Chain A
């Protein structure tokens, strides 16, 4: 995502705002990458809820470190009483070993990595870990690899790392085939038709108006919330 003018305007002020900073792009080489402030007490609740459902023994993070999500994920792991293990996404053999020998049974990764990693694990271990949290980039097609169709997969869509805009309740997590359905993640206003997102102000951090893909809604989920799918 290219940072909006509003985000560009606050770059020099970030150092005087108590906040956690995440990059506004999933790609380190993105020329438009800027820093985005998140309240220091922000917790990755959608992930914590997914972990609560998955009941992990150990959680392996395969997200790039510059996404700045290790600390939020650790808090989510603590809530689920599971240790965290950091696996460099480019070091697949260590990740495979962690599943065999390191007590890990749950993988947190992004959609672009899930297929490659699952394929390698399948070849090395002969079986896949059954619990996954898969992050989709907002600009990607939101689907999960066929290899994971028998696994428990919680999916989220992030506008950029650390800004989940869509996530799944336990009812939606079990739907691992077909078009994935999501709920709008709490903490933002998401206008489905236009894709306009307004983050809510918190502490010294102002509200931001951001642009996400439009989404198509609204079947009612058994949990009582409306569901949305990617607008094709």
Chain B
């Protein structure tokens, strides 16, 4: 965990006169003033938050604090509603050292996490010469076939890709060879964990939390593997990341104590050079929610948290596409007067005929609709999940389950959310 001195030095560094204008502008520092110096925790807490929406207004070149040529990779993440993607630069290749507590890496790995060379560097450092097989989500069968030929025994993958890799691993009979699975990107539900254990019975399953905008994921390291008794992802902040929790509505800072739930605010790159980030983030609102699990973990001596989901979700990733709230809204608006554009989309992973699929329930304000099944088919037909690909076409190809529609019954639960992950 970062100290106040680390944070103070970071603020001074990112607001120095010769640095990119990102923070000087954001903090309202005039051209003649020197760097901002914070003297106590109160002045730290009064620093305004930064968010993706703010970063998106600043050209990438004005967010770079190192030589451009030193940047390893650029990454795109979905833009905030209706906006183009946001581009984030990464420079560091380290951060996965904790993996060796769970597995001895002597074999190749199948990897879908960006960026692949970062994971190959990890393998290079920890074993003789195993190489990475890059997983192509659009060509799952071939990717897993190459993984079989290479003799992989570990998977570094996005949680959503487990449902693509599982059937192919089962078909090729390599499930039992896999000893280590690392998941990221989304939480692993109980049904997904059960599925993973059925296909990969010998695998230790761990997960980390990362965000594209916060370079050099992982931001956390796993407290322990998921287990049958407790398929729960418990995260510890990694050194170099200072995490605060706030109430997403009031922005009030929350105390780190068991059961506290709040939005994760990250300060990244609190370590000194040469371990600095391309684009240091100071009090960055991630939009991700955390629930404090323990204030002091007896094993690791620091606080830990689990992740209940996003503050507000605008989209969910589904195999081969993205289902966006605004697309559902567009479809509902075109359906005529019988249906309003108010909806609540609930989703969860379900095991269906031996594979993991996303089950979607759409609750709609449609007082005049009698036949919700017919309505669901129409929504499937009109909803685009890719540039030239509808949800209905995904059902035809066996990728998605039919949508279930029902009447929306407003129950006051605080701020209304349009996309909600249900526990499964």
Using a CB–CB cutoff of 8 Å, the interface residues on chain A facing chain B are 11, 14-16, 18-21, 23, 28-29, 33-35, 40, 57-58, 64-66, 68, 70-71, 74-75, 78, 81-86, 88, 90-94, 97-98, 100-104
Contact = CB atoms under 8 A, between A and B. Distances in A.
Contacts of A16: 151
Interface of B: 59-61, 68-76, 84-85, 87, 89, 107, 114-117, 120, 128-139, 141-143, 145-146, 149-151, 386-387
B138 A64 contact: yes
Contacts of B129: 18, 40
A59 to B, nearest CB: 9
B142 A23 contact: yes
A86 B74 CA distance: 8
Nearest to B60: A103
B84 A18 contact: no
A66 B136 contact: yes
Contact of A92 (B128, B146, B387): B387
The interface residues of chain A, by DSSP majority, are classed as mixed
Nearest to A14: B149
B177 to A, nearest CB: 10
B150 to A, nearest CB: 5
Nearest to B147: A21
A78 B73 contact: no
A93 B150 CA distance: 34
A15 B137 CA distance: 23
A20 B147 CA distance: 11
A15 B150 contact: yes
A65 B137 CA distance: 8
A33 B73 contact: no
Contacts of B76: 85, 94, 97-98, 102
B73 A97 contact: no
A93 B149 contact: no
Contact of A93 (B68, B136, B387): B387
B146 A83 contact: no
Contact of B146 (A66, A84, A90): A66
B131 A74 contact: no
Given A14-B149, A21-B133, A103 B74 contact: yes
